[in-house]
Structure 1
């Protein structure tokens, strides 16, 4: 009798999960439904930040640890005949609840009107990208001289909290035609509890949709960190697509009066442009790298050392799985910068930009 009841419960929760897949897929095709979830996000992010921003550590990471332990415990139970059926039933419940919360708080935002629809059409030619690369090379050279260095002559951040405050302030200055989203009032940037592990995954930071916290890897080279914070703050605003978060991060950082944030943004933009050019004109990229200032060359070498030190199977695995995740949410994948570059070129073609 108990076996029959458990079987029916499992079928019920499996059916609910399937129904959720179909329901949210249908919602993703309806503009009014997506607009509803956009408005819901504006409401819930305020609540989440009131609840979690004041906590000095990442509450979201603790939540992930708890869920991870719970799932591992239940998976172990699957291998025991006496507890297998009940464990599967509980796993289905956890999956249903997690999937539902994820979709209403975050998942549906991937289907917002893309930023590219708000920008003028223009050809993203090789020559345009080369011109922009040279522009940001010169900008990076100038701004690099305004930041501090460590004893090895490598860029070092002097006050991370000031950068975080500057990012929140710059959110309020985004062009209205691109974003009408309300800026965050609370500083909810948190160093990830998985920082050491993150260094081996290639993940620089991530947004937690369950707590609205922006996690970052505190071990990152300083040249990465300010733009990473800017990127994650774009997710906090409600931009789900990775390359759109890069573009909003660019808008946040490029006109900042904080030289550390501006340099990190200019340097990221330069690297993105060079990555988009290298397969078409490798000599141009080599020549550009040779024309880095001595300070920038030291920063580049520091980044290469960091990457080399943390290469491994975890990096390959997370790169692969993250790429699959991005593509499943109608994004290009982690290995390409073309959408960000497309947005950048279109934005730069505006008369007032």
Structure 2
């Protein structure tokens, strides 16, 4: 009787795993091979699912995803030791676990890589720009960074987290595609896990949580949490998440958020200009307030501490992940946020933001 029950359990786990895997594969295939499924799913299926996940896991003040990773690791270790000789049961359990995780990933994240990009909802379009236009943008950002400078890191953790929700809700009033429920972003209990990978934040599709690295230079945090929260709305492209984070921060009521958005925008545009004309870039660097320059030096020193084989392996893994989800430029897609910022600036949106009180 005991052997029959055990075999039934193994069969049930295998059958359930195969069903979840088949459904996940079908969803992925439909999203990749049809033009309509991704946008339809993102508009009608994903929102209620993600809202339910976000509201439930948002009840917890800590990162549930992080805790689950530790619990899962220990559970797998104990399970493996207990069933070391029963390889069939171990294989069935492992297969079901992987299938379940892949299914959750697919419904909460994977299909969204094939939705309409955020840029399609904008009234302006990114294109090709001259060096002079890039310099004009960087000059504007330099003035805004200097004007919005504040002593970062003075807010309480709760204040930083809740301001992110307010900033994203405010941006959602302008772009309906970004409206909806936002849970507070959460720092990892052991942020060093992200630091050694040179990551500032991470979105968990398994719990629909926006997690951030609490160890990094404070000015990084506001833009990072808004970036991660944009993934909750189904916008998975990293360049667009950077741009959404930029818009949310510079339009925020909080001075630290505006400073973070302006400075991150300055970094993206500055790096782009440095590749074209380093001498011109140096001129804009010299125009920054000494306090801003010190923030940038502190940030560089922080990440250089973790420049190792681990961080390079993490970058390679991230690059492979992005390409697997049809972001063909891999990690280079992070730099394309500059094109969106240029289109936004040249359309006159920047001046309207300033006139509306978004920045100082």
TM-score, with length taken from structure 1: 0.85
State the shift of 1:321 in Å. 0.7
Alignment of 1:8-87 (within 5 A): 13=17, 17=21, 20-28=24-32, 29-32=34-37, 34-71=39-76, 82-87=85-90
Q: 1:179 to 1:123 in 2, by over 3 A?
A: farther
Report if the CA contact (8 A) 1:166-1:258 is conserved.
yes
Q: 1:23 to 1:224 in 2, by over 3 A?
A: closer
Report if the CA contact (8 A) 1:143-1:263 is conserved.
yes
**Alignment counterpart, residue 344 of structure 1, candidates 323, 341, 346:** 341
Report if the CA contact (8 A) 2:20-2:100 is conserved.
no
Q: In structure 1, what is the Cα distance between the partners aligned to 2:81 and 2:331?
A: 33
**1:157 matched to which residue of 2?**
154
Q: In structure 2, what is the Cα distance between the partners aligned to 1:337 and 1:214?
A: 18
Q: 1:298 to 1:35 in 2, by over 3 A?
A: same
State the shift of 1:77 in Å. 8.6
Q: How many residues align?
A: 342
Secondary structure at the aligned position of 2:179 is classed as coil
Secondary structure at the aligned position of 1:215 is classed as strand
Report if the CA contact (8 A) 2:134-2:273 is conserved.
yes
Please provide the CA RMSD for this pair: 3.0
**1:285 matched to which residue of 2?**
281
Q: 1:172 to 1:76 in 2, by over 3 A?
A: same
**2:145 matched to which residue of 1?**
140
Report if the CA contact (8 A) 2:131-2:273 is conserved.
yes
Q: In structure 2, what is the Cα distance between the partners aligned to 1:45 and 1:169?
A: 19
Q: Structure 2: state its 5+ residue gaps.
A: 351-360
Structure (1/2) with the larger helix percentage: 2
Report if the CA contact (8 A) 2:137-2:345 is conserved.
no
State the shift of 1:61 in Å. 1.3
Q: 1:42 to 1:285 in 2, by over 3 A?
A: same
TM-score, with length taken from structure 2: 0.83
Q: 1:128 to 1:33 in 2, by over 3 A?
A: closer
Q: In structure 1, what is the Cα distance between the partners aligned to 2:296 and 2:218?
A: 11
Q: In structure 1, what is the Cα distance between the partners aligned to 2:165 and 2:16?
A: 45
Q: In structure 1, what is the Cα distance between the partners aligned to 2:38 and 2:299?
A: 43
Report if the CA contact (8 A) 1:214-1:232 is conserved.
yes
Alignment of 1:279-318 (within 5 A): 279-318=275-314
**Alignment counterpart, residue 236 of structure 2, candidates 207, 216, 240:** 240
